[in-house]
């Protein structure tokens, strides 16, 4: 299985870093640092995959690709 794309960004409103995985709806986490947010979202992803397997649900293949913009 290939890796899933992970977004990490700083949220001034939450005063923390937020990480999410677009291929898994509702899979996000936060942390005081980028590393904390990444570690927590990977834990969330593992829990989601484990739950899906237990329920006999298909694990989605990675589909999300970020748009890359170029300034001209």
User: How many Cβ atoms are within 10 Å of 56's Cβ, its own excluded?
Assistant: 6
Structure pTM? 0.83
pLDDT at 69: 59
Q: How many CA atoms lie within 13 A of 56 on its CB side?
A: 0
Q: How many other C-beta atoms can be found within 10 angstroms of the C-beta atom of residue 65?
A: 8
| Confidence check: pLDDT of 2 > 80 | no
pLDDT digits (tens, 9 = 90+) for 21-72: 999 988 999 999 999 999 999 999 999 999 999 999 999 999 987 666 556 5
CA dihedral 46, 7, 37, 34 (to 10 degrees): 140
Residue 15 has pLDDT above 50, yes or no: yes
């Amino acid at each position: 299985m290939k890796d899933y794309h992970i977004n990490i960004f700083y949220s001034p409103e939450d005063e923390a870093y937020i990480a999410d995985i677009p291929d898994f709806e509702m899979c996000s986490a936060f942390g005081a640092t980028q590393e904390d947010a990444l570690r927590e979202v990977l834990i969330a992803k593992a829990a989601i995959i484990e739950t899906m397997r237990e329920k006999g649900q298909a694990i989605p293949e990675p589909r999300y690709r970020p748009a890359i913009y170029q300034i001209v």
